Amino acid sequence: MTAAFIFLLLVALLLVGMPVSIALGLTVLTVLFVLTDVPLDAVALKLFTGIESFELMCVPFFILAGNFLTHGGVAKRMIRFATAMAGHWPGGLGLAAVVACAIFAAVSGSSPATVVAIGSIMIPAMVARGYPKDFAAGVIASGGVLGILIPPSIVMVLYSVATAGMTVQGPDGKRIHAASVDDLFMAGVIPGLVLATLLGLTTIWLARSRGYPKSERQPWSERLAAFLDCFWGLALVVIVMGGIYGGVFTPTEAAAVSAVYAFVVAVYIYKDLALKDVPRVLLASASMSAMLLYIITNAILFTFLLTHEQIPQAMADWLIHQGFGPITFLLIVNVILLVAGCVMEPASVTLILAPILFPVAAKLGIDPVHFGIILVVNMEIGMLTPPVGLNLYVASGVSRLGLTTLSVAVLPWLVTMLAFLMLVTFWPSLSLGLPRWLGML
């Protein structure tokens, strides 16, 4: 009954249009003071200690790095390189847009940032070359989802933070611990590349069937020149990923290094961002970070409530007693996450549902890293589904197309992503193969 009251109250507050962070906080406070005897001091302490997490510092630093890269000319150089390499294929500029999104995703960690950085350049270029605007915007909105799957990924950091400290007894009696950021980043590499390939193949198929134009094949001299031009941006991938897995620094330190490096590249190497514009970038990053951290704080308090009432454990026991196996459970989870992704943005869904679903998954023997990748792929799909498809809104702002038009335009790529979700869900080795090969799991 307590669990039903919690979720009904939360849903009711969300349905009346209350912001997610406020709805979470009010739900927690109402339940704690009406149905429990938790002292006020414990609530205040949890609010303070909830964001006192070293890993959580990744979030503002990756946001800052992404903003420096977005405003600092890195995106247009990556687009030049992607076009030189893939522009001669059917639907060349569309395929180049997917490649550019994949490359930018590897340095930004954010899907909206990827859509803005690549879309603001590629959509006008594609329209000028004769591509329909809805196709161009559909490519960018769909390719932009790679920003949270290809590491570094802010959503992966939030999943790790939301489940941090949780330990569950697996079906074989062993203790299963929450996934670390390092493991999640490495697990996202192969699925990210596979999804980028599938989105590219969908783009080629659409372009070929509709007779869209392709560009001239570029000589290797132009390809080399384009690569050298974007070298300093691409080097960030090596610095972040190589630094983490080479033991040079932690993911949090890597995020700080990426922010400083992106600042140096944008201001002093490419010189596309003037020093007088840096405060504007800092303010935008601080504003976005504050919004996320406010949601995170209330979500951690919500997790505290669930843990105090032992709701995740009760749900896990109930599902197991119903005879649900891993396959049935994962199908149910995918439906829940897809529906939640339609009405909430990825950070909120992750912070609310990860602490609830993780203990059940662990009890059924599902690897925490594999489960994290499944959650991230569901969040990608949610960014393309109305009414709260974040990438649809961002792409709509860039392309000046209506939300309904964009929702129809992304359907071919959305079907591809749903098929990919099934692949990731029921083929764990796709996510776990690389970390296992490197001896991380």
Could you tell me the CA-to-CA distances from 400 to 14, 113, 273, 405, 412 in Å, in that order?
28, 17, 26, 10, 21
Look at residue 72 in the predicted model and tell me its pLDDT: 66
| pLDDT mean over 276-280 | 90
Stretch 153-163: mean pLDDT, rounded?
88
pLDDT of residue 191: 95
Q: Helices marked H in 36-128 — which ranges? A: 40-50, 58-71, 74-86, 92-108, 111-128
Which range (45-54, 199-208, 370-379) has the least confidence?
45-54
pLDDT in tens, 85-121: 887 787 788 888 898 889 888 887 778 888 888 888 8
Of 151, 181, 144, whose CA–CA distance to 164 is shortest?
181
DSSP reduced 3-state for 6: helix
- When comparing pLDDT for 141 and 10, which is higher? 141
Please report which helix (H) or strand (E) contains residue 168, including its range: strand 167-169
Per-residue pLDDT at 245 exceeds 80:
no
Q: If you average pLDDT over every residue of the chain, what do you get?
A: 84
Q: What is the pLDDT of residue 51?
A: 67
End-to-end CA distance of the chain: 38
Per-residue pLDDT tens digits for 406-437: 889 999 999 999 999 999 999 999 999 999 99
* pLDDT at 430 (0 to 100): 94
User: Among the ranges 148-157, 231-240, 422-431, which has the highest mean pLDDT value?
Assistant: 422-431
What is the structure's pLDDT at 371? 95
pTM as predicted: 0.84
Q: Determine the pLDDT at residue 50.
A: 65
